[in-house]
Structure 1
Amino acid sequence: MPEGSSTPWSYLLIRLLFKFVLKIFYGTIVVENTEFIPKTGQPCIVCANHSNSLTDALLLATSVPSRARNMLRLTAKSTQFGHRTFTSWLIESAGTVPIKRRKDFADGTPDNSEAMDKLMEALELGDAICLFPEGMSRYHPTIAPLKTGVARIVSDVLTRNRHNPDFSISILTCSITYMHRQHFRSDVLVTFNPPMTFTPKDNPELLAPVDYNEVRSLTARMHQQISARTIDAPSWDLVRCAKLATRIYVPLGTRMSLGDYVRVTRTFVEAFKASEDAQNKLGNGATPGDDVSPEATNEDVELAQLRRDLKRYQDQLVRWGIKDDRIRRPLSRRTILTRLLIRLTWSCTLLLLSLPGLALWTPVFITTFVAVHNFKKTGPIWDTWDEIAQYKLVYGLFSGLGVWAAAVLLTLPFAPVTMVLVPALMWMTLRWLEDAVSAFRAFTALVRLLRVGKGTLGSMRATRADLHRRVVGLAVGTLGLPEDPETYFLESGGREKGRVRSRWESGAKYFSVRRRRKRDWNETLRLYDKVDYPEEGQ
């Protein structure tokens, strides 16, 4: 059995460095099903959806435990190579293989034969390689049709080793779900799917000369696996409605695991998407008697109406600046006033506590803001926003290291203490700042709640009650979701939930680095609730 290539020191450094940076940038990174990852020495192609440029590759490299694979050989677009930049050095020194894209060449016919040979040689050595079969990264809520390159590599490797009938190669698909991929302290779910393993003996249909239908069939299986465990929607509006349906159906916040939250949201997305497809089909000349029964058509109409009503309700919440939970659990005026005082006091206290550390964070925030602001001007949303997180990670890393080095130099006599104290202070400041922002966000929401008249609140409460009845009916009666979601999802999910659960963690003092205060998987480090997405045309 192959033993796999040795791990370059630069790869170890990059994985360690960016594991730290990713944990700072994203509030929670949940990795599921690492037991599915084939061990080092088993040829493996890791494939994932691609919506966040270089960040996707870094996330996969840091999500694969070193005890399972010593390294993950990455690929990147060829235009990232050969520059005197940190990003270029980063990808080259880690053994990354350049892939030429058609869109980057005037004649549209790039030659990737050398890259493919390198990848196949790595697989035959027992390495794991990382490919993104969509072919390009893009800021879009749906997964693009997959290219057939991965299936063709499997076919070529099996053909090259047909003399060894027991030679095996695996495809390990992975589904990556970002709550808000470009926003500081948002959350990420990485789900590894069961691997597909192929051998010359068991898969003669993939040996040359291969029927291209077999290649397409394998590619379709990959697409189905990846999309089945992430939120794959044709529009941001549909994602927005599905997330609201999830909050209405199971309003547990982060006491529900991120994986369960994503899967329930995806279930609603698929239901809305199916009804939309059926109505479009009927609108294009089909009749209910063709492929859609009259009963199904009525259900589709009801689903479409539910989606419109959810949108109107969410628009109303955004207009007033309040959350659904405040409609679900109304507060008396006295309670609101009491909480206003508590939230404002707590926010100011934490902000004052954070001031020394904020002096260290300010250069980092300014540097990343200016870099991203300038980068956004270079193109439309669909072509640039997928690289925002990458820019924030790189510029945040450099500026953060600069702040640390400057602090050490300015306190040279106490450098051994400062080297440890500065990162610790910055980390705790980030924790306190998150809670200060969260408390102030709750304060402003309560202020807005006072502005909403009793009549409007009563109307919204009645609207929500009707939506709750219809959403639960859809979830339980049609989609097969649990009948008692608040009990079911409260008990499932284990330690992957957003809130700490062990006795030590739950009993720890407020200032513990282990404590998390996030109440909603949609939260980011913003003074407002993040529920909307930019339009593609902007």
Structure 2
Amino acid sequence: MPEGSPTPWAYLLIRLLFKFVLKIFYGTIVVENAHLIPPRGQPCIVCANHSNSLTDALLLVASIPYKRRNLLRLTAKATQFGKRTFTSWLIESAGTVPLKRRKDYSDGEADNSEVLQKLLEALDTGDAVCLFPEGMSRYHPTIAPLKTGVARIVSDALTRNRDNPDFELSVLTCSITYMHAQHFRSDVLVTFHQPMKFTPRTHPELLAPVDFSRIREMTARLHAKISSGTLDAPSWRLIRNAKLAARIYAPLGTEMALGDYIRIVRTFLEAFKLAESRVEREGEKATSSGEEAPALGEEALAEDRKIVQLGADLKEYQDQLVRYGIKDDRIRRPLRRRTMAYRAIVRLLWSIVLISISVPGLLLWLPIFVTTFIAVREFKRTGPVWDTYDEIAQYKLTYGLMSGLCVYFGMMIVTFPVAMFTAVLVPLAMWMGLRWFEDATSAFRAFTALTRLLSVGQPELQKLQETRKGLYQRVMDLAVQTLGLPEAPEKHFGETGGREKGRVRGRWERSAKYFSVRRRRKRDWNETLRLYDKVDYPEE
């Protein structure tokens, strides 16, 4: 059996370096089903959705355990190569294969025959090859129609080995879900699915000459698998509504595993998508034919309209929360005004204390924050949202890494006589400064929310509570009666699952994690390092 290509030293360095950087940039990275990754030596194509440019590839490299695969052969657009930039060096040093895109060439011609040959040879040696079948990174709420390249490579690989009865090629699909891809200290879910296995004997229909309908059929299966583990919607509005519905249905915060939370959001999202598409389709039919009788049936159409109306009402409720600067949790658990005032004072004092003790670390972070802020601001000006926002995390990672190294080695030079102590104290001060700053931000965010609640006024607050009560009943009816979700979500999702990363189990762990040095306790998977609840998405 082939053992795969040897691991380049640059790949090991990059994997170690960016595994560290990714863990700092993203608050929690949860990897599900890593045991499904085919072991080293078995030819494998890893396919994932592509919404975050180079960050997607780095995340896969960091998420695949070294004991499973010693090398993940990456691909990147050819325009990234041959430049005198850190990103270009990074890509080339990791053994990445350049792919030419038609859109990057004026004549629309891009010859990738040599590249495909290299990929096939890599598979023959037992390597794992990473491909993004969407063809390009894009900042959109929906997965683009997949290109047929992966299916055609599978066909070519099987054809090359048609006389080898032991040849087996695995296609490992992966779904990457960023809670907020470009925001510092957000969370990420990486879900690997059961690999699809192909051999010349079991899949003779993929051997050349192949019917192209087989290629399209396999591509459709890939799309279904990838989209089944992430949020895929025609608009950010639907994702926003689905997240609110999930929080109303199961207000567990991080007591629920991130994977369970994403799957609940996706369940509501699919219901909203299906209902809207059916209602729109029936409306178009009625307009074109002049008839009012729906093809779906009155009862089914009425149910879809109820779901569409629920989505509209959820949006209106969320808009109100954003306008007042508060979260749904504050409405769900009303407090007496005296209690709110007392807690606001405590949160303010605690945030001041945390900011004070985090100042030394924050001073070291300041050059990094300034550098990345300027770099990202200038980059945003180069194009529209859909063409730039998918690379923001990449810019923050690379500029943050470079400026961070400058800060570290600069401090070593400045404190040369005691550099051996500085080498340990500087990263320790930076980490604890960031850790306390997160807590300070959270405490100040709670202070602002409580003060806003006090300023809302009792009549308006009661109106919001009544609105939420009605929404809660409608969300529960949809979840339990239509979608088949558990009737007691807090008990079900609170008790199921294990000790997943970032999750809290029980009152003791909830308190202990608040003071944990490794990772702060978030109250909500939607939380980022912001002074406000991040629920809106840039849309053009």
TM-score (normalizing by structure 2): 0.97
Distance 2:246 2:148 in 1: 35
**1:268 equivalenced with 2:268 (yes/no):** yes
After TM superposition, the structure 1 = structure 2 runs for residues 324-343 of structure 1, keeping only pairs within 5 Å, are 324-343=328-347
Q: 1:301 to 1:103 in 2, by over 3 A?
A: same
Structure 1 residue runs of 5 or longer lacking an equivalent are none
Deviation sequence 1:236-292 (CA, Å, 0-9, x none)? 011110000001000011111110110000011100000111011112216787752
**1:436 equivalenced with 2:407 (yes/no):** no
**1:17 equivalenced with 2:21 (yes/no):** no
Contact residue 167 and residue 200 of structure 1 kept, 8 A: yes
Corresponding residue of 2:59: 59
Contact residue 505 and residue 515 of structure 1 kept, 8 A: no
Q: Which shows bigger deviation, 293-302 or 117-126? A: 293-302
Q: Which shows bigger deviation, 106-115 or 374-383? A: 106-115
CA RMSD of aligned residues (A): 1.5
Contact residue 156 and residue 207 of structure 2 kept, 8 A: yes
**1:470 equivalenced with 2:474 (yes/no):** yes
- Of 303, 309, 320, 1:305 maps to 309
Percentage identity across paired residues of the two chains:
70
Q: 1:334 to 1:506 in 2, by over 3 A?
A: closer
State the 1:435 CA deviation: 0.4
State the 1:43 CA deviation: 0.3
Corresponding residue of 2:531: 527
Corresponding residue of 1:214: 214
State the 1:165 CA deviation: 2.5
Amino acid paired to 1:383: D
State the 1:418 CA deviation: 0.6
Distance 1:505 1:328 in 2: 23
Contact residue 500 and residue 515 of structure 1 kept, 8 A: no
Distance 1:462 1:70 in 2: 56
Deviation sequence 1:142-177 (CA, Å, 0-9, x none)? 000000000000000000000112310010000000
Corresponding residue of 1:450: 454
Distance 2:456 2:506 in 1: 40
Runs (4 or more) in structure 1 with deviation over 3 Å come to 286-291, 499-512
Corresponding residue of 1:88: 88
Corresponding residue of 2:374: 370
Distance 1:446 1:241 in 2: 24
Secondary structure, in 3 states, of the residue corresponding to 1:285?
helix
Corresponding residue of 2:145: 145
State the 1:502 CA deviation: 9.5
Corresponding residue of 1:257: 257
**1:71 equivalenced with 2:75 (yes/no):** no
Corresponding residue of 1:114: 114
State the 1:506 CA deviation: 6.2
Distance 1:256 1:520 in 2: 9
Secondary structure, in 3 states, of the residue corresponding to 2:188?
strand
Contact residue 255 and residue 497 of structure 1 kept, 8 A: no
Corresponding residue of 1:411: 415
Corresponding residue of 1:316: 320
Corresponding residue of 2:32: 32
Distance 1:300 1:489 in 2: 27
Deviation sequence 1:325-370 (CA, Å, 0-9, x none)? 1111100011101101110011000000000111100000000000
Secondary structure, in 3 states, of the residue corresponding to 2:39?
coil
Amino acid paired to 1:215: I
Amino acid paired to 1:370: I
State the 1:511 CA deviation: 4.5
Q: Which shows bigger deviation, 112-121 or 508-517? A: 508-517
Distance 1:315 1:32 in 2: 33
Contact residue 288 and residue 297 of structure 1 kept, 8 A: no
Distance 1:393 1:203 in 2: 42
Distance 1:207 1:502 in 2: 55
Distance 2:188 2:510 in 1: 23
Distance 2:512 2:322 in 1: 36
Secondary structure, in 3 states, of the residue corresponding to 1:177?
strand
Distance 1:115 1:264 in 2: 40
Corresponding residue of 1:241: 241
After TM superposition, the structure 1 = structure 2 runs for residues 502-517 of structure 1, keeping only pairs within 5 Å, are 511-517=515-521
Contact residue 43 and residue 124 of structure 2 kept, 8 A: yes
Distance 2:366 2:518 in 1: 24
Deviation sequence 1:168-208 (CA, Å, 0-9, x none)? 00100000000000000000000000000000000000000
Q: 1:194 to 1:258 in 2, by over 3 A?
A: same
Corresponding residue of 1:167: 167
Distance 2:451 2:507 in 1: 35
Deviation sequence 1:372-413 (CA, Å, 0-9, x none)? 000000000000010000000000000000000011111111
Contact residue 155 and residue 206 of structure 2 kept, 8 A: yes
State the 1:515 CA deviation: 4.3
Contact residue 45 and residue 129 of structure 2 kept, 8 A: yes
Deviation sequence 1:511-534 (CA, Å, 0-9, x none)? 431342210111111111101111
Distance 2:270 2:339 in 1: 40
Contact residue 28 and residue 501 of structure 2 kept, 8 A: no
Amino acid paired to 2:319: D
Contact residue 141 and residue 231 of structure 2 kept, 8 A: yes
Q: 1:168 to 1:425 in 2, by over 3 A?
A: same
Amino acid paired to 2:63: S
Secondary structure, in 3 states, of the residue corresponding to 1:215?
helix
Secondary structure, in 3 states, of the residue corresponding to 2:46?
strand
Q: Which shows bigger deviation, 220-229 or 504-513? A: 504-513
State the 1:500 CA deviation: 4.4
Q: 1:529 to 1:502 in 2, by over 3 A?
A: closer
Contact residue 514 and residue 521 of structure 2 kept, 8 A: no
Residue correspondences, number: 536
